[in-house]
Amino acid sequence: MAAPVVKVGSELSVNTNATGSQEAPTVTGLANGGFVVTWDDASGTLGDASGTGIKAQVYAADGSKVGSEFRVNTQTTDGQLAPVITGLSNGGFVVTWFDNSQTLGDSEGTSIKAQVFSADGTPVGSETLVNSSTSYSQFAPTVTGLANGGFAVTWTDDSGEGGDDDGTSIKAQLFAADGSKVGSEFLVNTETSGSQDNATITGLANGGFVVTWEDLSGTLGDGDATSVKAQMFAADGSKVGSEFLVNTATTSDQLKPTISALPNGGFVVTWYDFSQAGGDGSGSAIKAQIYAADGSKVGSEFRVNTTTANSQFTPTVTALSNGDFAIAWQDWSGAGGDASGSSIKLQVFTADGRNVGSELLVNTSTTSNQLHPSITAYADGRFVVSWQDANGTDVKAQMFSVDTVKPVPVLSAVDATSPWVAGLSGSVDADAAGQTLTLRDGTSQNAGWSTTVTVGSNGAWNAELSWDQFNTAVDLVVTDAAGNTGVSNYVYGTASGRTFGAGSHQYIYGTATDYVIGDGAQQQVYAGGTVIGTTLNAGGVQIDWGNAIGTTIAGGTQYVWGTASNTTIVSGAQYVGAGGSASGTTIGAGGLEYIHAGATLTDVTFGGASARLVLDQSSAFSGTIAGWQDGVELDLGDIAFGETTSLVYAANAGNTGGTLTITDGAHTASLLLLGQYSAADFALAADGHGGSLVTNPVDQPQALLSISHAA
């Protein structure tokens, strides 16, 4: 169970020299548990008085400085800019940047430089020229450590060499741990029309790596402005599969992608998006997409930011050791505690993309603007965010903890110690040892009986209750050292009318009616359990292995592996997994219902514009679809979109309905409509991941559809 996200200590001031500007910081974790921050520096100190230089500061795991601020670059002529840093498996780190000194063999435009360091900041070897092609300029480097101890650098190349002479391209170079080159510089992008810019890279557990970048080629299903592309590579730099489109929403620009490998072997990409799709119609939003280790998408593209006023820019992402990931970004909403210019916001997610707690304000100092966030994780589950503060004069950092203390207690065993007594035992995180665990009446909001026990040295606890107390519902309540209160509610009989917030988990074995699951809370319905009338507010989660009736999703998320009937999605999403079934769902404006392979859906109503239904297998649906209207989307994942894909509408003899047939030659979906329609009322397009998307492109009256299928 995910614990709250909390700040560790105070906001850190990173730079020592404050003369001039300090800008564009990036941060990386180290194998010893510490971290390093690097940035552009215009102070003219530490031996570099010519333009800007690159500085860095090493930190211990507790946030204390290790040694002093130091200069990274050896070549000091003119300016050195935009450093990016990564930790290495041997405990050291490497910094790369773009350089205007025109030294080390590149005398034309800017070049890419790199320097390897040991864990304490001592240089290993000399500053290295990364790029081999030296015509025109090379800029915007990124770097990642590799499983073999080496590292890989990518950058934007304007040389027109290496197979891409149309605009800029993305190049890469592999290195051994000592900084020596492995093989030659190579072209990352396959599509070469237009420009490719602003790459980021992450190493994978299997030794390979993934690169993602901005693309202006107008290919792979996104012909509208800039898109986000990606390519997987093996450890030797050979391509694994083909270049692929990351973003699903293709209207307008998708920009500045960043990427992080996940502990499960997959990876996650995040970017900022001007499509105004997905629930954020104000300026730009932060989007993300999770991938499995084989490069297949896990779920759909999702919106990261909760606050949607004005624009959100420049996301940065890191995986956490517990399998979660964290995304930070620059926010111009003026909400959440910082109304002075831009702020830095943060959201943690589970590995499958569910919110962990709420969106947080990272910066404590709110004067002026906070810009250019960068994020990295520790091995112990903590992470740190760095950013540029106060008009470019300071570099700041803040450490966070997530899932290091689990205040939610677990009831793992129930024994009948006598005909009238239930013996309960369970556990809390070991950090709760010595704390008081309260057991209380969990049937309603009204106060009832309560008793307390002390948590043991290993986090274990046990208690006895009368059967009368136990046989309805029981609350287990504990508060961790940080003041986070966790509540577990176990329903064995019948209970109703409760509201749960952050840090609360409900386990349903009996029947629960009219519960409200708020931000950071979770309701789990076990086989044999039934919930009726649950409301899932934003950030609330329901996991259903039993029977969920009449759930209202008001910004939350429902995961179904049992049965769910008469669900209303006001906003948010319903995901039905293999073996699960849903029926009678109403999808409101902007809502999503996703039927995964092996799941089924019977009867659905589109209740508003931008409502979206995704069927991994079109044969999963039976019954009727009501409410077909302007702006709704029906995504048929198993009907491939291509030159041979067709959509045909045939009205019946009385013009009271008709049949809409979509086929790719191998799979066919037949949609039986009631209402007066013509072929112009249906549009067919690619869904962005190989399937076909049916939309209603114009305002239409509601109609009734019935779907039948042929393999």
Q: What is the pLDDT of residues 296-341, one digit of tens each?
A: 999 999 999 999 999 999 999 999 987 889 999 999 999 988 888 8
Could you tell me the strand order of the sheet in which 53-59 lies? 22-29, 35-41, 53-59, 65-71
Q: What is the mean pLDDT of residues 89-118?
A: 94
- What integer pLDDT is reported at residue 391 of this predicted model? 65
Nearest residue to 25 (alpha-carbon basis) of 38, 15, 14:
38
Residue 20 three-state SS: coil
The phi, psi pair for 618, rounded to 5°, reads -65, -25
Domain co-membership, 626 together with 501? yes
Least confident of 298-302, 345-349, 546-550, 618-622: 618-622
Compute the distance between CA of residue 213 and CA of residue 657 in angstroms, rounded to an integer.
46
367 contact partners, CB below 8 Å, separation of at least 6: 340, 390
Residue 14: name the closest of 59, 45, 71, 50 by CA: 59
The pLDDT of residue 48 = 86
Same domain, 420 and 551: no
Question: Which letter does DSSP use for residue 104 in this model?
Answer: T
Task: Flag whether pLDDT at 542 surpasses 70.
Answer: yes
Burial class (CB in 10 A: 0-12, 13-18, 19+), 708: middle
The pLDDT of 211-235, averaged and rounded, is 95
Q: Please check whether residues 630 and 663 belong to one and the same domain.
A: yes
Identify whether 456 is part of a domain.
yes
CA within 13 Å, CB half, 524: 10
Enumerate residues 6+ apart whose C-beta is below 8 A from 534: 512, 514, 515, 516, 517, 523, 542, 548, 550, 551, 552
> What is the distance, to the nearest Å, from the Cα of residue 143 to the centroid of all Cα atoms in its chain?
21
Q: Provide the pLDDT confidence category of residue 478 given band limits of 50, 70 and 90.
A: confident
442 and 468 fall within a common domain: yes
In the numeric block, the tokens 């000091």 are attached to 76
Cα dihedral 379, 128, 143, 81 sign: positive
> If we measure between CA atoms, which residue out of 400, 232, 200 comes closest to residue 314?
200
Domain boundary among 432, 463, 481: 481
Asked if the structure places residue 300 within a domain, the reply is: no
Mean pLDDT of 265-293: 93
Residue 404 pLDDT? 38
User: Total structural domains in the chain?
Assistant: 2
Confidence class of residue 208 from pLDDT cuts 50, 70 and 90?
A: very high
What is the spatial distance between Cα 14 and Cα 72, in angstroms, rounded to a whole number? 15
The pLDDT assigned to 2 comes to 36
155 domain-assigned: no
Output the average pLDDT for the chain. Answer: 87
Residues 473 and 491 reside in one and the same domain: no
Could you give the CA distance from residue 489 to residue 73 in angstroms, rounded to a whole number? Answer: 57
pLDDT given at position 485: 67
Domain contains 554: yes
Shared domain for 668 and 526, answered yes or no, is: yes
Name the residue with tokens 């799941």: 599
Question: How is residue 621 written in tokens?
Answer: 């649906």
In which band, very low, low, confident or very high, does the pLDDT at 141 lie, cut at 50, 70 and 90?
very high
Of 427, 455, 481, the residue that ends a domain is 481
Rounded to 10 degrees, the C-alpha dihedral 506/510/513/515 comes to: 0
Tokens of 524: 């789990």
Give the domain range for residue 441.
Answer: 406-481
- Considering only residues 585 and 423, tell me which one the structure prediction assigns the higher pLDDT: 585
pLDDT band at 415 (very low <50, low <70, confident <90, very high): low
Indicate whether 465 and 580 sit together in one domain. no
| SS3 assignment, position 285 | strand
Element (H, E) at 229: strand 227-233
Same domain, 582 and 705: yes
- pLDDT number for residue 447: 61
Task: Say yes or no to pLDDT of 474 above 90.
Answer: no
Asked if the structure places residue 272 within a domain, the reply is no
The verdict on residue 655 lying in a domain is yes
Q: Which of 53-67, 196-210, 483-497 has the lowest mean pLDDT?
A: 483-497
Residue 403 pLDDT grade (very low, low, confident, very high; cuts 50, 70, 90) = very low
CA distance linking residue 517 with residue 503, whole number of Å: 11
pLDDT at 475 (0 to 100): 75
The answer to whether residue 549 scores a pLDDT higher than 80 is yes
CATH number at residue 459: 2.40.30
If asked whether residues 643 and 605 sit together in one domain, one would say yes
The one-character DSSP state at 4 is: P
What is the β-pairing status of strands 535-537 and 547-549? unpaired
Q: What percent of the chain has pLDDT over 70?
A: 89
Residue where a domain stops, chosen among 456, 481, 506: 481
What is the pTM for the complete model shown?
Answer: 0.61
Q: Which backbone phi and psi does 469 adopt, to 5 degrees?
A: -70, -45
Task: For the chain, report the end-to-end CA distance as a whole number of angstroms.
Answer: 41
Residues 647 and 597 occupy one common structural domain: yes
- Residue type for position 697: P
Phi-psi region of 481 (alpha: psi -120 to 50; beta: other; left: phi over 0): alpha
Taking 70 as the threshold, does the pLDDT of residue 407 lie above it?
no
Q: What is the pLDDT of residue 469?
A: 66
| Same domain flag for 571 and 651 | yes
Whether the pLDDT of residue 700 is over 50: the answer is: no
Say if residue 496 is in the same domain as residue 581: yes
Picking from 241, 345, 341, the residue whose alpha carbon sits closest to that of residue 303 is 345
14 assigned to some structural domain = no
For 133, residues 6+ apart whose C-beta sits below 8 A from its C-beta are 157, 159, 161, 162, 171, 185
Query: Helix/strand/coil (H, E, C) string of 166-212?
Result: CCCEEEEEEECCCCCEEEEEEECCCCCCCCEEEEEEEECCCCCEEEE
Per cent of the chain over pLDDT 90 is 56
Q: pLDDT, tens digit, for every residue of 627-686?
A: 888 888 999 989 999 989 999 888 889 888 778 889 999 999 887 777 777 888 889 998
Most confidently modeled range among 197-206, 484-493, 574-583: 197-206
pLDDT at 387: 97
Say what the pLDDT of residue 436 is. Answer: 74
Query: What is the reported pLDDT for 500?
Result: 86
Tell whether 95 is covered by a domain. no
- pLDDT, one tens digit per residue, over 555-567 is 999 999 899 999 9
What's the Cα-to-Cα distance from 79 to each of 73, 214, 302, 692, rounded to whole Å?
Answer: 10, 25, 39, 50
